[in-house]
A and B are shown apart, each in its own frame.
Chain A
């Protein structure tokens, strides 16, 4: 439980750098597209207004839904983030991730008669882990938030980039329909709300480090019943499972000393959910802005400070593609809840080697919760691993 303001959001530094890289070097992109060859250092590429020019996250605010499902244009970055574990009931298991990022490099806006002129740019990641066939499919797209090509509608949850989309299908917010398709992989799912919305940090203000104003507004839906279809090549699977949705927006960047984070979103078999992220520091000291939350079956939320969660890495995995070493098994304990679980990835190689490189994948875990046994599935995200911490292109 915390009165401290923690931050969890994908580092602004990374996102900005990624988007800018992408915009400077349009040669990068999807799984199969060609790459340009020259690495560009982040500082050279970064060019946009300083964080000070945008609206800043400083105080709690009232969250109004469905309005707040829409974009918050006055902030620099924002995303809509979906992950989930689904299966077809006959043993075929999948994990998926679909994320839409909004980025605004300049605080000022020029009016124009052209519908292509905009201040906002979008990036989307789509990953499908085919656990049985031990394969992960990853895709990346970019667009401008204009001319109807990409964007997010105001007042409701509806975000899209080309023909990938996530949004409401009726006057009601839920069920959400998320759709993504590329090459011969397709996803078409309906997500119910499940548990109520969870506001992270201090009533939704999630502080990331000690510099003032470095925080984000952050909420999640932690257990969303899901059903729909997954296509892999010629095969279509009818699936169901649970999804997790994260929403976050802010204007400022991570600190220099923070190299990256490990983020866990776990859905326990006893109707609890656990979200935890910890920052990894250059000096290897624990980062006190690491943060966690437990969502109880009665929908109450208890926050966890950095000293309330113990996380040990049990194993590592070397990526054959990039040579980066990632942790590959953990033991997570929350003494307060007598929670002790060991977590394993459903598939070792769930690395996304796109405009920036990170590991994000479906995991499964089991252990004890108090007196009883507990298990479940979830998603883990590992960023900032590798010899160079700056995003690069191959």
Chain B
């Protein structure tokens, strides 16, 4: 079996608020294999987003180790983690995914610029993606002219455009109505799953859970794994 794409051992995270320690994650272990679709499940505020942040290197754990694509994040400086994340991770948030002062096009170009892929390959990908989304005519719009559903779809495109190996999605359909959310999920399915990329999604939607390969539940700051039910 090939090495897992993501591996975390004895991961703990707590933060301090007014002299009180809040433990978010306590000795969490797990691994994700390439191409897997993991759903992170759990009550609100119990650390799902935190785990995503740790995996992506946005945050550093209090204890434990994270390995992504064989590289240990815990040994890296913040700058190194940032650079790593830039290249390897694509993020989709629940909201505020797009820079409001950049056009759709520029929003999509931003990751390309960051990763030095502003060459023809990148631009072609951009054009193709927009075509595929059916939003090529909105290339020069600013995000505020798009509906929330459209914004999320662009957000997904932005998360993918630099061909990251891992997609992290934090409740991507949380702000959307059922039908739009469905569209978004279909898109994710199409662009991520079918392309064989690894995805970890935090969600409450039972339907999505049904689509996942595995289910990770965080309860009482600990991780429980189960196969999908």
User: Touching in the complex, A and B, CB below 8 A?
Assistant: no
Residues of B within 8 A of A (CB): none
